Chains A and B, each alone.
Chain A
Amino acid sequence: MELGRLEYLQALVTEFQVTDSTGNKRRRSLALSVSGISSRPRPFSLAEAKEQVLANLANFAYDPSNYEYLRQLQVLDLFLDMLTEDNESLVEFAMGGLCNLCLDKTNKEYILEANGVEPIINCLSSSNEETVVSAVSTLMFLTTPRSRAQTTALPVVECMLRFSLSANRRLSNLASIFLQDYCTAPQLEEARNLSKHTAVGIPLPKD
């Protein structure tokens, strides 16, 4: 069972990497082989394959028993890399994957070491609701005494203030928890003063 799971995850990552490679012939043949296997008439794109694989990995990241394998296969790096992709779905799924696995101590340290906080903060500006929501909770989960200067930096707190007023209940709940549980009173004060005077900040998601 152990081996089967590792192999499966390996196949996922390999598929992802092959999909990512340049070279038209390889792409086309992959697309053909995949669509041939699944034997569906619907046209199939490589972007879709990547999305599926990434979603699969992100869902695997929910289960702690997979963490060792995911680390071995460098999936954490994969998730972090995907945060800067143009494809909104890839960002959403990668952000979800990080949210799922970042509570584990080893994973947390790895993400912090890899300067993962910055791209995650950038995800707060996404127009994708799921991405933003995942980013908020991930920042909470990644907050440690050492990292909190970064995860609760002024622009972040100011952003959370605005999120907490959102009509989107999921977002406002999470933002409220962020402000209440992870920020000090001086931080809140400073952020409130900031939002009164300046226009710099992180936009709310479109939804």
Chain B
Amino acid sequence: MGHGKMAAGSSSGAPGAPCRHHAQLGACESRAKYREGWRPRAVKVYTINLESRYLLIQGVPALGVMKELVEQFALYGAIEEYHALDEYPAEQFTEVYLIKFKKLQCARVAKKKMDERSFFGSLLHVCYAPEFETVQETREKLQDRRKYIAKATNQRDCFILKKVEGPKKTVSKNSEQDCPWSTSGSHVASNWDPSCFTSSPGVSHNIAYPSGNQDESLLTSPHYDNNCTQVPGYFGQNISLTPSVHPGGHTPPASLMQQRMVPAYNGIDRFMPRTTHLQERKRKREEGNKFSLIGTSEDNTEVVIGPQLPEIPKVDMDDESLNTSATLIRNKLKEVADSVSTSVEKPESSSAKPLVKQRRRI
């Protein structure tokens, strides 16, 4: 058959070339009123394949404002790379830039906020640029999504958070350990499900449940964006910070980025007063989108621009009593967030829960 229908050459899908998914669709004008959002939106479905840490920014006025542009975007999270795309077609007097965030979540928020924003008199058009990803980056993106779902859906069944089992595979490290299950599938039990599997060696179960992320349980209460035809229905700053946060209580490999992002709140430092954790998280929740400047990169080879998103620390304590206390606090926070009665849970019942958690299997 020798299909003539090969994917076209440089005109689509290749990095630096205009892609169909970069095109700004016209806003939908015929939407039923009950589905009208605040801003005119095009009809578009966002999947994990379309989203990316890479953002393409069009319409930047050619005034030599790259620094200001990057500073503006850096408000939404750490930026790993940025440069102008000279070969990309641009309207007269405008330039096109590529900005790569460290985290997909930051890119998502930045896109939402900066798209259609005026910048030095010109309207920016911001879109994802997944075609710039390497295979490994795409793989990690999919794995992060997997982990997130595994955590979020089990979270619903059980609001008590689980103890993390060991060092998780983190973004862009351990790059050699790609899903070994595909080749070692023969020894896997029949009810094993890849959606809860990460490729950290030596970890046998429940990897996908980091502890200390009580904010997720509080914030999975329905919270959807009216403008959902363009934006996925959740705000990530509430939820998905945790999947890539390294667990405390273990000494992580020095090269992990996440550790650098969690300087003062690492669970290893168990002598930090717990009220500080509590207040800190409460403050973060109340501030909403505001990000505080914490953490500095100890690795000088990384160019970290702008404030880093505060990582929700993992409260993984090996100590039973500390876990009990942590559970107690989380439950309390949950109650407060649910805006129901403020009855205090008995320590006995909460101490029973860690045991129940550990037996739970997916």
A binds B: yes
Whether a CB of chain B sits under 8 angstroms from the CB of A176 is yes
Q: B32 — which chain A residues lie within 8 A by C-beta?
A: 15, 34, 37-38, 49, 52
How many cross-chain pairs have Cβ atoms below 8 Å apart between A and B?
221
Whether a CB of chain B sits under 8 angstroms from the CB of A205 is yes
Q: B220 — which chain A residues lie within 8 A by C-beta?
A: 64-65
- The segment from B47-55, B88-96, B110-118, B318-326 found at the interface with A is B47-55
- The segment from A20-28, A114-122, A127-135 found at the interface with B is A127-135
Which single member of A48, A63, A137 contacts B49 (CB below 8 Å)? A137
Name the prevailing secondary structure of the A interface residues. helix
CB–CB B182/A203 < 8 A: no
Minimum C-beta distance from B191 to chain A (A): 9
Number of interface residues of B (CB under 8 A): 72
Whether a CB of chain B sits under 8 angstroms from the CB of A74 is no
Determine the residue in chain A with the shortest Cβ distance to B179.
A181
Which single member of A40, A169, A182, A183 contacts B30 (CB below 8 Å)? A40
Q: B34 — which chain A residues lie within 8 A by C-beta?
A: 8, 11
CB–CB A173/B29 < 8 A: no
A35 and B32 alpha carbons, distance in the complex (Å)? 7
Minimum C-beta distance from A204 to chain B (A): 5
Whether a CB of chain A sits under 8 angstroms from the CB of B278 is no
Q: A185 — which chain B residues lie within 8 A by C-beta?
A: 183
Which single member of A68, A100, A106, A206 contacts B5 (CB below 8 Å)? A206
Whether a CB of chain A sits under 8 angstroms from the CB of B360 is no
Minimum C-beta distance from B8 to chain A (A): 6
A145 and B362 alpha carbons, distance in the complex (Å)? 15
Across the A-B interface, the 9 shortest Cβ-Cβ residue pairs: A168-B13, A199-B1, A96-B45, A62-B232, A63-B233, A64-B152, A169-B131, A103-B149, A166-B7
Residues of B within 8 A of A (CB): 1-3, 5-10, 12-15, 20-21, 28-36, 43-50, 130-135, 138-139, 142, 145-146, 149-150, 152-153, 156, 178-179, 182-183, 185, 188, 190, 192-195, 220-224, 228-234, 362
Known: A55-B43, A167-B10, A169-B132; 12 extra A-B contacts, CB below 8 A, are: A38-B32, A52-B43, A53-B35, A59-B228, A59-B232, A62-B46, A99-B48, A129-B13, A166-B13, A168-B7, A168-B8, A206-B5
Residues of A within 8 A of B (CB): 1-2, 4-5, 8, 11-12, 15, 34-35, 37-38, 40, 42, 44, 48-49, 51-53, 55-56, 58-60, 62-68, 92-93, 96-97, 99-100, 103-106, 108, 127, 129-130, 133-134, 137, 140-141, 143-146, 162, 166-174, 176-177, 180-185, 199-201, 203-207
Could you list 10 examples of A-B contacts with CB < 8 Å?
A1-B221, A55-B43, A58-B45, A59-B230, A67-B153, A96-B47, A106-B153, A137-B142, A176-B135, A201-B3
